[in-house]
Structure 1
Amino acid sequence: MNAARTVRLLAAACVAAVAAGCTTTGVAAPVRSRPVGAVALVLSHAGGTATATLVDTSEARQFAALLPVTVELRDVWGQAKSGRLPATITVEGSRPVHDPVPGEIYFWPRTDVIAIYYADLGQQVPDPGLIRLGAVDSGLAGVDGRVRIELAPTDNT
């Protein structure tokens, strides 16, 4: 698969979501072991499934409590797939991220949006910043264009 197609496919993947679980070069990143307390997710889309791991934080636990959830994702600013969650996540006292990393899943508290970042355009996110929820582990290569994605805990969480 050529690099341009890989970037386009990863672009379709989001939150957001969105820590190096995927790359924009087409070279698969190593699958990380799951930290104690982390929640494994499956992201189902028309092109197949992807896996992700939520970090063990208050915000990620609130997000996990919303699961399963279906979110329509669209490409925003050529660097992430994002879509609105059906409920808000409380982020008071959270450490904001202003320089998102491709492959990570974030929450944008101003608009209740989850995002999966696929590219680093060198742009800084304005205040209040993003809240890191987790990282994609594998499987976003089949996502393209505007997608509906279902996020749910895996059977082995």
Structure 2
Amino acid sequence: MHIHLTIDGNSVDATLNDSSTVRDFAALLPLALDLDDFQKTERIADLPRKLSIEGAPASSEPKAGDLAFYAPWGNLALFYRDGHPSPGLVILGHLTDPDDIARLADANRVRIQPAS
């Protein structure tokens, strides 16, 4: 599945994995979210509700450009730097263009919608 993100007015595309968590996330789209920095590694935002993690791995190691769901907090994470293995982190997908990763570091707002 492909999605389109608008990050502080810039158009960015991403490809999502095929999982129950991603299907649950897609059901929330479109979304407009305010972003906060977390540990100078990722931008995070609260989702309207927690997502299903049925069948998801117990832990994931995020890479720069990954979109992820952190189940313990119920938030979306957009990684602009590689992260550490984290229990409860479910990778949803990845930005299509590596050049877009740099935009995440200072992002304040994101709009996410299915790609047309």
The TM-score with structure 1 as length reference comes to 0.66
More off after superposition, 103-112 vs 42-51: 42-51
Q: Which residue of 1 aligns with 2:108?
A: 147
* CA distances 1:74-121 after superposition (whole Å, capped 9, x unpaired): 110011111111121011331133421111111001111011111125
**How far off its partner does 1:141 sit?**
4.3
Q: Size of the alignment, in residue pairs? A: 114
* Aligned 1:55-94 pairs, distance under 5 A: 55-94=17-56
Q: Which residue of 2 aligns with 1:99?
A: 61
Q: Following the alignment from structure 1 to structure 2, what is the Cα–Cα distance between the partners of residues 124 and 143?
A: 20
RMSD of aligned alpha carbons: 1.8
Q: Following the alignment from structure 1 to structure 2, what is the Cα–Cα distance between the partners of residues 142 and 117?
A: 11
- Identity across aligned pairs (percent)? 29
The TM-score with structure 2 as length reference comes to 0.86
**How far off its partner does 1:70 sit?**
0.9
- Which residues of structure 2 form unaligned runs of 5+? none
Q: Following the alignment from structure 2 to structure 1, what is the Cα–Cα distance between the partners of residues 85 and 18?
A: 25
Matched letter for residue 134 of structure 1: G
Asked if 1:118 corresponds to 2:93, the answer is: no
Q: Which has the higher strand share?
A: 2
Matched letter for residue 84 of structure 1: D
- Which residues of structure 1 form unaligned runs of 5+? 1-38
Q: Find 1:135's aligned residue among 90, 94, 101.
A: 94
Q: Which residue of 2 aligns with 1:28?
A: none
Is the alpha carbon distance of 1:65 and 1:52 closer, same or farther for their aligned partners in structure 2, counting shifts above 3 Å? same
Q: Which residue of 2 aligns with 1:51?
A: 13
